[in-house]
């Protein structure tokens, strides 16, 4: 079972070290058990002015604030590790000192940062605009077509024979297969 001093020492080590400090595998659940026990003792309806109950209440309050500070410091270090890993490609530093839930958070942050980097790279190279153009097809209608719903639920049409429209590829392909429209090759113009 974890003690008040264990929580204090964990916070002290975390506070004065740049690296993520190792915690026991069940550290968080043990702290939860400790806090539950102290809360039950401090809520007992005994002599409210008893030194023991007063001391327990103070320890309970201090333990909560120490645990919150410990988790905050670990979150900051986790974010810093994710940033360094995203920039350098090295992500194993302090990985073994992470709690299981921290490892999950770290992986999620890494994926989000990689996705953000990809988006920025695509925007800088102009690929996103080209990608969007490829998602649409320019078609001409071969017959009158009533209003219909698009893939996103928006109403499209009605269209008259000869109308030239730029529609999402999926919808354009359906209209082409049904012989209601034909694809216009922009390169030939």
Domains of the chain with bracketed CATH: 4-125 (1.20.58.1030), 132-188 (3.40.5.50)
Assign 137 to helix, strand or coil: strand
Which two tokens mark 33? Answer: 């058990």
Claim: this prediction has a pTM higher than 0.85: no
Q: So what's the pLDDT on residue 169?
A: 86
Asked if residue 9 has pLDDT above 90, the reply is yes
* 66-100 pLDDT tens trace: 999 999 999 999 999 888 888 887 766 678 889 99
Q: So what's the pLDDT on residue 133?
A: 43
CA–CA distance, 123 with 135 (Å, rounded to integer): 17
Which of 175, 14, 169 lies closest to 102, judged by CA? Answer: 14
Cβ contact 142:161 at 8 Å: yes
Which two tokens mark 107? Answer: 């992986």
Q: So what's the pLDDT on residue 78?
A: 92
* 101-146 pLDDT tens trace: 999 998 899 889 888 888 888 888 766 544 444 578 889 999 999 9
Cβ contact 164:182 at 8 Å: no
**Exposed / middle / buried, residue 70 (Cβ in 10 Å: 0-12, 13-18, 19+):** buried
């Amino acid at each position: 079972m974890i003690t008040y001093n264990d929580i204090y020492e964990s916070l002290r080590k975390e506070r004065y070290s740049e690296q993520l400090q190792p915690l026991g595998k069940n550290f968080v659940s043990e702290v939860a058990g400790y806090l539950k026990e102290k809360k039950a003792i401090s809520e007992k309806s005994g002599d409210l002015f008893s030194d023991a109950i007063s001391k327990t209440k103070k320890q309970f309050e201090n333990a909560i604030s120490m645990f919150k500070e410990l988790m905050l410091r670990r979150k900051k270090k986790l974010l810093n590790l994710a940033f360094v890993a995203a920039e350098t490609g090295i992500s194993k530093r302090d990985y073994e000192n992470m709690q299981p839930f921290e490892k999950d958070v770290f992986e999620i942050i890494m994926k989000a940062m990689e996705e953000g980097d990809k988006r920025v790279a695509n925007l800088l190279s102009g690929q996103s605009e080209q990608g969007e153009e490829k998602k649409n097809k320019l078609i001409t209608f071969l017959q009158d077509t009533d209003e219909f719903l698009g893939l996103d639920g928006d109403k499209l049409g009605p269209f008259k024979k000869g109308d030239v429209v730029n529609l999402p590829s999926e919808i354009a392909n359906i209209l082409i297969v049904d012989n209601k429209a034909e694809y216009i090759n922009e390169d030939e113009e």
